[in-house]
Amino acid sequence: MSSNAETHTAKHPLFNRLGYAGMRGAGIAGVLVAVLLSTFMAWPAQAQGATSATCSATMLIRISPGLTLVSRPGDIATGGETGSIVCVGTFNGDHVTGPGSFGVDGTLVGSCLADSGSGTYAATVPTDAGLKHFAGRFTESSIGPVGHVDASQPGAVFRGIETFVPTHGDCVIAPATEVVLNTTGLFQS
């Protein structure tokens, strides 16, 4: 019992190569749905209490005495959790439900051409279990306006990139005493 549709499908080179000879459209859709569902069901479940969150934090950082073309030491600070952080994922097994706040305090040595720094950070992020507050230490190094950030807090580490744009001063005529910094990366336990 062979219909024209089955004959056409059986003769189609793509269907023959993939072994779909004789299947109708609904059957193919059913197989695709089954494959997709089994893929997602087989995806490893996140361990209870695990941290895995992709985050992006944006903040205005004050630099004293300011970045110039000449390397020198300085202090950096946001003045508390005045920046914002947006995450997708979990902290200690709790799902992030919205944007939070973020801030840093530290030191750096460098110029607008290259710098390295370290300090502390603090953040508050809303989750399905309530607000989560965490604090930790970071190190960063950059060449020009792009750099790498490593951070750690109890139960998790962060690896990411940073970019900055001077908002007060330009590094050449006047020291950059304020920059908007964006850091994007992954917190993971």
pLDDT tens track for 63-99? 999 999 999 999 999 999 999 999 999 999 999 999 9
Residues 172, 102 share a domain: yes
Residue 47 lies in a domain: no
Residue 172 lies in a domain: yes
pLDDT score, position 48? 64
State how far the Cα of 107 lies from the Cα of 110, in Å rounded to an integer. 10
Domain count, the chain: 2
Cα 150-53-33 angle, rounded to 5 deg: 140
Residues 64, 31 share a domain: no
pLDDT score, position 25? 41
Residues 36, 58 share a domain: no
134, 135, 140, 145: CA torsion to nearest 10: 60
Residues 32, 124 share a domain: no
Q: Report the percent of the chain where pLDDT is more than 90.
A: 74
The model's pTM is 0.73
Residues 18, 64 share a domain: no
Interval 120-133 mean pLDDT: 98
